[in-house]
Amino acid sequence: MKTKIKQTAIASLAGLLMAGLISCTKENGTTSSSLETPVLEVTATGTTAVSIAKLQTVLDPAFTYDATELELLLTLKEEEKLARDVYTFLALKYDNQVFSNISKSENTHMNAVIYLLSDYGDEYTSVLAAGEFTNPDFQQLYTDLTTRGTESLIEGLKVGALIEEMDISDIVKDLESMINANVTLVLENLERGSRNHLRAFTRQLTVLNTVYSPVFLSAEEYATIISTPTESGKRYPVNANWRMNKRNPSCLLSNG
């Protein structure tokens, strides 16, 4: 009798654990059969945001990096902030939703990088006010790009395309030597987002009968990107230990 009661209790406990797992995976966009989820949210116009809620379910909970990786992440944080801040600035000047929509997406891109740094404290996760940068190179870029972008809507859209191809070029180089799985996953998704945003800016320029000439990408690389459809997010296996990762994403920033 005791054995039967014990078996029944174990079976009940197993059922409760399974129900909890199914509930958690459903909340994060997965099912009990697949246990996979994309981390990108892509609209019909190509605006591509990163879901932090889903990102945390697929990353390895061990957020540790060497000095080179930390330096890369800090630079990437500023680069994504540059895109956000420039687009936010241009959205106030032009009645064109591409700037406001993509600026909001870029905020999620920056937050994805900040989330990777969440174990390292304010020194690594904080950012300055809009239009202000720790890195003097990005400070100068912000001044140059916003100045150029105010010349006309066409120049503003060209600035958007320039930023996106710059991001793509830098991420491709970063991925060549990256071995950290968490950083690689985020970089790959930021690259997809930048390709989608480059397509979006190019479409806007095409409507205005303007041909964009790439600067950071070769003509062949650029042509390949804009000639292919908007990319959806790749699906990733949900990490079985993701619920153990109790980081409070209070360091993440709203757009602006």
Q: What digits encode the pLDDT tens for the residues 189-232?
A: 999 999 999 999 999 999 999 999 999 999 999 999 999 999 99
Indicate if the pLDDT at residue 12 is higher than 80. no
- Band (27; pLDDT cuts 50, 70, 90): very low
Indicate if the pLDDT at residue 9 is higher than 50. no
CA torsion sign, 59 to 60 to 64 to 69? Answer: negative
**Cβ atoms 52, 252 nearer than 8 A:** yes
The pTM (predicted TM-score) of the whole model is 0.84
**Cβ atoms 71, 120 nearer than 8 A:** no
Instruction: Return the SS3 of 23.
Output: helix
Collect all residues with Cβ–Cβ distance below 8 Å to 129 and sequence separation of at least 6: none
Closest CA to 78 of 157, 166, 154: 166
Q: What digits encode the pLDDT tens for the residues 79-107?
A: 999 999 999 999 999 999 999 999 999 99
Q: What digits encode the pLDDT tens for the residues 108-121?
A: 999 999 999 999 99
Indicate if the pLDDT at residue 3 is higher than 50. no
Mean pLDDT of the chain: 87
- Band (249; pLDDT cuts 50, 70, 90): low
Q: What digits encode the pLDDT tens for the residues 132-176?
A: 999 999 999 999 999 999 999 999 999 999 999 999 999 999 999
